[in-house]
Amino acid sequence: MLKAVSLKKVYTSGEVSLEVIKNFSLEIKEGEFISLVGPSGSGKSTVLNMLGCLDTPTSGQIIINNTSVTSLNRTQRANFRGENIGFIFQSFNLIPVLSVYENIEYPLIMVQNLDESERKKRILKLLEEVGMLEHKDKTPDKISGGQMQRVAIARALVTNPKIIFADEPTANLDSKTAHMIIELMKKIQKEHQTTFVFATHDEKIVANVDRLITLIDGEIVEDKRIVR
Ligand code: ADP
Ligand code: MG
């Protein structure tokens, strides 16, 4: 469902060029629960942002669900991302002035033409699924970090994406909450067949994925499948 071929990313500042991703190729199958691991600065976030269409490679090709996303222009890419990809961030990135319900609704208003009642049905079902129904009218400052990440997960799922990218999703959570969030994502992966791609060095996530890609200095040094 996702194929990356010879990705390279070079950051240039003034006279200095830094090649942070050197030659990254990867195939991901539908329903995989997979993580990029490696030391801080090894390029995990850079790769995740390119695969998730938030950023573009300097060279190389990315194909997602038969679309060559690296051939799309900026607007096409943003539309593709809105309709096919979900993102979960370390710092949750909820919109502070919107309620829990409205935060989840937001991506739907941006990209899809669903009528009001269909939208509401979908949001309420997700609120239930992530255990946040009773908090739906609160703003983010009235809920805990773990609850914020539940809302962010629901927001990532609301457009029914086939693939979700999660960059250090448990880094700002205590370990008990982190475990609950991981279990929630596993449940979602099983029930919706959603592909999850993590970037993390959290052992709790590493212990749950079925494939580990290790990056060092922008290169894959190991690609390991784990049978549980
Ligand atoms: P990780 O997520 O594994 O910690 P990153 O992908 O964030 O690694 O960073 C990889 C390398 O790219 C680091 O050396 C980082 O300093 C550099 N880098 C990341 N973003 C930028 C940027 N916008 N401009 C210049 N260098 C960057
Ligand atoms: Mg990172």
Give the residue carrying structure tokens 């990056």.
215
pLDDT tens, position by position, 53-93: 999 999 999 999 999 999 999 999 999 999 899 999 999 99
Please give the DSSP secondary-structure letter assigned to residue 71: G
pLDDT mean across residues, the chain? 94
- Using a 6 Å CB cutoff, which residues line ligand 1? 11, 18, 20, 38, 40-46, 199
- In the structure encoding, which two tokens stand for residue 134, read together? 């009773």
- Which ligand 1 atom is nearest residue 47's CA? 6
* pLDDT for 225 beyond 70: yes
CA of 13 to the centre of ligand 1 (A): 13
Structural contact between residues 61 and 5, judged by C-beta atoms closer than 8 angstroms: yes
pLDDT at 30: 94
CATH class of 2-225: alpha beta
Give the residue carrying structure tokens 């580990």.
212
CA of 118 to the centre of ligand 2 (A): 36
User: In this structure, which residue's CA is closest to atom 25 in ligand 1?
Assistant: 11
pTM (2 d.p.): 0.93
Say how far residue 16 (Cα) sits from the centre of its chain.
30
User: In this structure, which residue's CA is closest to atom 15 in ligand 1?
Assistant: 41
Q: What is the mean pLDDT of residues 159-163?
A: 92
Relative to the alpha carbon of 47, which ligand is closest? 1
Residue 206 three-state SS: helix
Q: What is the mean pLDDT of residues 183-194?
A: 91
Residue 112 — very low, low, confident or very high, per pLDDT cuts 50/70/90?
A: low
Mutate to test the pocket of ligand 1, among 7, 10, 11 (most ligand atoms within 8 A of CB): 11
- Please report, for the chain, the start and end positions of each structural domain, with discontinuous segments joined by +: 2-225
User: In this structure, which residue's CA is closest to atom 6 in ligand 1?
Assistant: 43
Q: What is the mean pLDDT of residues 195-216?
A: 95
Beta partners for residue 64, in sequence order = 2, 67
Relative to the alpha carbon of 39, which ligand is closest? 1
Sequence-distant (6+) residues with CB within 8 A of 183 are none
